Amino acid sequence: MSRRTRTGLDFSSDATHGRARHRLVGATAAALAVSLLLSGCVSWFMPPASDLTSTPTGESVAPGLERFYQQELAWATCGDSLQCATAIAPIDWENPEGDTLELALVRQTARGNDSIGSLLVNPGGPGGSGFDFINDSVDYATSEALQSKFDVVGFDPRGVNRSTPVSCYSDPAELDDYIYGITPGEKGSDEWIAAATQSSAQFAERCFEETGPLLGFVDTPSAARDLDMLRAALGDTTLNYLGYSYGTLLGQVYAEIFPEKTGRLVLDGAVDPAASEFEATQAQAKGFEGALDAFLVDCAGAGDCPFTGSTEQSRALIRTLLDRLDKSPLTNADGRQLGSATMFTAIILPLYSQDNWAYLRQLFTTVLQGDASIAFDLADSYNGRDADGTYRENQTEAFIAINCLDARQPADNARMQEQAAALAIAAPIFGPQMSYGDPGCANWPVEAKRERVAIAAPGAADMLVIGTTNDPATPYEWAETVAKNLDSGHLITYNGEGHTAYNKSNACVNSVVEDFLLKGVVPATDPDC
């Protein structure tokens, strides 16, 4: 029973989704790969052997934390020009003598001769693989200027991918059913809510059985403590950090817990930590619908546009199509059924970047013709599912586990119905798709760890907060709010489309970020790029 299109979409950067798009099969995959121009790693530079073991800072820490903060990371070459290492951290930072977990890291050492330290990068999610982000597309994550001066470090947060992972369904067929299955009944009906609640409760139970105690400690504050330990183990006295999307929340929480250890933090595609679940859902529904409207205006001038009427007529057709898929799903060649939930996921992926609107045209054209193949290509890419039916990452499981630990509210049918009505008014196409998400975390077997409150981080160093004016996933007003609430936040506006801006928008944004990270220069005012 599909629970993937829950309230709260993936707070991953466009860069993360760009990396995922490389894996699409068929013609769509090839075209997307060309359009994104993500590059891998080069082989011309190898560090000297003396650089293959880190030198921790040796700073004083609380009793019991020494073995983590003072661990020497043993780097080994992996790929042509990268190094990989594994760090250990306590599962419970309040009980450092207890069981430990592993954290997977990858780095490209500074290409120049005068490195200024490490730059840790998080691509978003929660559940996004920072290891894969740097391993697969370091040139998309960072510019040549940053790579020259920084050791660029990607890491998988606790619970994610190559680090000690959250696991819920070891059988891919079970995860298929959870993500792609059709929930019986009309959405919002008692039958539908009961079925969704049962499916989510079963998923939660299996997560607890397969993951064990770690499931209670994949919260963002615990990940921020890992981040500080990694900083020290890498030998950096302060943290230099580039966080995209959900990575901006991790950066804010870090600054709140360790303000004195902040170096230069860039938060691109800012997440408002105080937004309630409903406020976040409503903002995203409106954001993605705004991006869809921009796509429809652009589509009208394209020769392969499947829509022939006005924007309003096209909007009505899309809503009718989603409703029709609920009543009569399309059958894919592999037997999976394309309902509105999976179709919504397929629509969302290309909306992260204007560069990929051509694939939205292909998506709507084929589905309107009764062909579900491209819709499943896109949804599978979003969900990390390969053509053979296996899942290369645990991003769905990690996303849910981290979100349910960060904050949640009990499922209340009356409240959900009231909020669903409000969402349908705010975003008539996508609002109905994003409603009734409360059952997803209602039966989670461990308690939430973080409250949804504003973060000021008094005492932290200057931080850049980047907002894109028509960002569908992390609306611009969130960046305004975050920059205002942070004592040392500085708003950088990018006027444009798409999710996140650095290294994918214009020279204005890039120069501001690079001047800050490389030289510590803070713009006197918002450059309004």
Is residue 20 pLDDT above 70, yes or no? no
CA distance 478 to 474: 7
* Short-list 275, 320, 244, CA closest to 11: 244
- Domain boundaries defined on the chain: 11-31+167-213+275-442, 61-89+100-160+218-274+462-519
Is residue 38 pLDDT above 60, yes or no? no
- Assess whether 471 carries a catalytic annotation: yes
The CA radius of gyration of the chain, in Å to the nearest whole number, is 22
Which pLDDT tens digit goes with each residue over 358-414? 999 999 999 999 999 999 999 999 999 999 999 999 999 999 999 999 877 777 888
Write down the catalytic residue from 340, 471, 488, 490: 471
* Mean pLDDT value across the chain: 90
Write down the catalytic residue from 12, 245, 340, 381: 245
CATH architecture for segment(s) 61-89+100-160+218-274+462-519? 3-Layer(aba) Sandwich (3.40)
What per-residue confidence (pLDDT) applies to 413? 86
- Assess whether 499 carries a catalytic annotation: yes
What per-residue confidence (pLDDT) applies to 43? 30
What per-residue confidence (pLDDT) applies to 169? 94
Which pLDDT tens digit goes with each residue over 77-102? 997 889 999 999 999 999 999 999 99
- Assess whether 199 carries a catalytic annotation: no
Which pLDDT tens digit goes with each residue over 326-349? 999 999 999 999 999 999 999 999
Sequence-distant (≥ 6) Cβ neighbours of residue 135 within 8 angstroms? 41, 78, 79, 82, 106, 154
Write down the catalytic residue from 176, 488, 499, 505: 499
Show the beta-strand stretches assigned E in 245-393.
262-268, 330-331, 337-338
CB 193 within 8 A of CB 332: no
Burial 367-402 (b: 16+ CB within 10 A, else e): beeeebbbbbbbbbbbbbbeeeeebebbbbbbbbbb
What per-residue confidence (pLDDT) applies to 136? 94
CB 61 within 8 A of CB 408: no
Show the beta-strand stretches assigned E in 290-405.
330-331, 337-338
CA distance 159 to 482: 26
CB 283 within 8 A of CB 275: yes
What per-residue confidence (pLDDT) applies to 12? 63
